[in-house]
């Protein structure tokens, strides 16, 4: 069954002929998330999700049109894990609170950065609404605020993806020291940079948390209006 022109999330509210549905969209989404958490996006298929639910793949077409719908459901399900505090009116604090949650969710669900939903569900829209609200005190126009939402969201997602891959902001110094050849000759700028950091002592240590927050601050510097 093809549900042309109807919202994926509104289908459950529209009665259709036939047997009463055995599953909810949330149950489908949960099954997708479990499979992706265990085996990545490749583990998510109509047949695989049907097996997870103990049903036939053909029965899922009562709810979705195909894998694209499954991706949309699971992305929105994860977006439902955000826990929103009341806005403080402090742009940096409110943005950072959301960005840290986004980073944590992307670390918990590494497949998320590669998932491209074909449509946005209510939880995903709610996240965008809250990030737009965090930027609202800046007085920026709608276009600038939405650009800011996109930039900040991308930073959190891509940073977490690197963390999930095992990369650390402090790894470059070790890689430089272990590199073959003459690092001072082949990588003069990085050699100078890390040499300066080492001479400055432990206070100059680079860690992921510091780099993540610095990235948010740098983005906000570019986003916020100039006085």
User: Residue 1: inside a domain, yes or no?
Assistant: no
pTM as predicted: 0.82
Q: Would the CA dihedral through 209, 221, 103, 92 be positive or negative? A: positive
Is the pLDDT at 1 greater than 50, yes or no? no
Q: What is the CATH number of the domain that holds 37?
A: 1.10.10.60
How many folded domains does the chain comprise? Answer: 3
Domain identity same for 92 and 163: yes
Total length of the chain:
227
H helix intervals, the chain: 25-39, 46-53, 67-79, 91-108, 122-135, 142-164, 171-178, 183-186, 188-199, 208-223
- 14 and 72 in a single domain? The answer is yes
Phi, psi (rounded to 5 degrees) for 154: -65, -40
Classify residue 150: in a domain, yes or no.
Answer: yes
The 10s digit of each residue's pLDDT in 208-221 is: 898 899 999 999 99
Model pLDDT for residues 13-36, shown as the tens digit of each residue = 454 555 666 888 999 999 999 999
Strand, helix or coil for residue 34: helix
Sign of CA dihedral 155, 160, 165, 166: positive
Among 44-53, 68-77, 182-191, 218-227, the range scoring the smallest mean pLDDT is 182-191
If one counts every other C-beta atom within 10 angstroms of the C-beta of residue 180, the result is 6
Residues 157 and 91 in one domain: yes
Q: Which domain holds residue 42?
A: 8-78
In a domain, 3, yes or no: no
Say if residue 98 is in the same domain as residue 156: yes
CA distance 77 to 217: 29
Q: Is residue 133 located within the same domain as residue 63?
A: no
Q: In 3-state terms, what secondary structure has residue 168?
A: coil
User: Between these two residues, 114 and 12, which has the higher pLDDT value?
Assistant: 114
Say if residue 99 is in the same domain as residue 184: no
Which residue blocks in 14-66 are alpha helix, DSSP H?
Answer: 25-39, 46-53
- Alpha-carbon distance of 223 to 140, in angstroms, equals 9
Query: Which tens digits make up the pLDDT trace of 110-142?
Result: 999 999 998 999 999 999 999 999 999 999 999
Residues 117 and 194 in one domain: no
Looking at the structure, tell me whether residues 198 and 91 fall in a common domain. Answer: no
Q: What is the mean pLDDT of residues 164-169?
A: 76
């Amino acid at each position: 069954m093809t549900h042309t022109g109807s919202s994926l999330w509104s289908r459950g509210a529209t009665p259709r002929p036939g047997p009463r549905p055995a599953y909810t969209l949330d149950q489908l989404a949960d099954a997708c998330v479990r499979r992706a958490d265990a085996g990545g996006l490749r583990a998510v298929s109509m047949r695989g999700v049907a097996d997870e639910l103990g049903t036939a793949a053909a029965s899922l077409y009562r709810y979705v049109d195909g894998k694209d719908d499954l991706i949309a459901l699971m992305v929105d399900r994860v977006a439902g894990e955000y826990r929103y505090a009341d806005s403080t009116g402090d742009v940096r604090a409110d943005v950072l609170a959301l960005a840290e949650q986004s980073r944590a969710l992307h670390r918990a669900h590494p497949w998320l950065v590669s998932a491209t939903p074909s449509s946005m569900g209510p939880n995903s829209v709610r996240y965008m609404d809250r990030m737009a609200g965090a930027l609202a005190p800046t007085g920026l126009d709608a276009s600038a605020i939405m650009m800011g939402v996109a930039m900040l969201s991308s930073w959190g997602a891509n940073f977490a993806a690197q963390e999930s891959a095992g990369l650390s902001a402090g790894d470059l110094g070790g890689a430089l020291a272990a590199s073959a050849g003459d690092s001072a000759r082949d990588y003069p700028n990085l050699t100078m940079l890390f040499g300066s950091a080492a001479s400055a002592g432990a206070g100059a240590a680079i860690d992921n948390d510091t780099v993540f927050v610095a990235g948010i601050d740098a983005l906000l510097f570019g986003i916020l209006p100039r006085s």
